[in-house]
Amino acid sequence: RGREAYVLFQAMATGHTTYSTMHADSPQSLVHRLESEPINIPRVMLQALDVITIQIQTEVKGKRVRRCKQVVEIIDVDPKTKEVLTNEVFRWDPVEDSFVYSGNSYILNKIQAKLGLSKEEMMEELKRRTKILEWMRERDIRTFRDVARIVAEYTEKPEEFMKRMEGEGYVSDTV
C-alpha cells in the first residue's frame, strides 16, 4: 500500500490524472490515513490532491442508498503550519436528499480563468453539462463506451450536440 500510494502521488505531482479510492469518513481522517503506517505519504505531497469525495451508505425514505456526503477541494498545504487547506464545495442535505453548493469552487475558478470565461458563462456551461447528465440518466445511458462517445461528441461540437439532444434527434452508433 505504501509504495503504490507513493507512486500514485508522484504521478499526480507530475501532472498525471489519477483516481483512487480509500476508506475514510472525512477529509481529516483521509489525511491521517495517508500520513500514517503503512502508507506514509509526506504531508507536502498531499497538495497534489485536487478533490476528495466522501461517500456514505445511508437510508432515504426507508431504503438503503449510497450518497456523496461531501465534495472537498484540497487548496494547498500551509507552509508555516503544515495544515491542509480545504474548501467544501458540496454537502449532501439528508433532510431534502439534495446537494447544497457552497457558492465557491477553487477549481472552477481556475478553469474559468484558464478558459477566459465570465462567471455567467461558466455557470451556463455547468448547466448544459448538468442537462446532458440528466438526459443520460433518463435514458439509462451508463456504459463507459456510450458515456465516452457522448462526452466526445459534446466536446467536439457542443452547440450541435445540444440542439440534437434537446430536439431528441440524437443519433449515435450505440445509443
* Domain boundaries of the chain, sorted by first residue: 1-116, 118-175
Beta bridge partners of 34: none
CA distance 65 to 60: 7
Q: Decide: helix, strand or coil at residue 18.
A: coil
Q: Decide: helix, strand or coil at residue 56.
A: strand
Whether 149 has a pLDDT exceeding 90, the answer reads yes
Cβ neighbors of 112 (< 8 A, separation 6 or more) are: 118, 119, 121, 122
22-71: per-residue pLDDT in tens?
999 999 999 999 999 999 999 989 999 999 999 999 999 999 999 999 99
Cβ neighbors of 103 (< 8 A, separation 6 or more) are: none
Whether 87 has a pLDDT exceeding 90, the answer reads yes
Read off the amino acid at residue 37: E
Instruction: Tell me the average pLDDT across 72-100.
Output: 95
Beta bridge partners of 66: 57
pLDDT at 166: 87
Cβ neighbors of 154 (< 8 A, separation 6 or more) are: 129, 132, 161, 162
Q: How confident is the model at residue 172 (pLDDT cuts 50, 70, 90)?
A: low
pLDDT at 171: 57
Q: How confident is the model at residue 162 (pLDDT cuts 50, 70, 90)?
A: very high
pLDDT at 50: 93
CATH of domain 1-116: 3.40.50.300
pLDDT at 169: 63
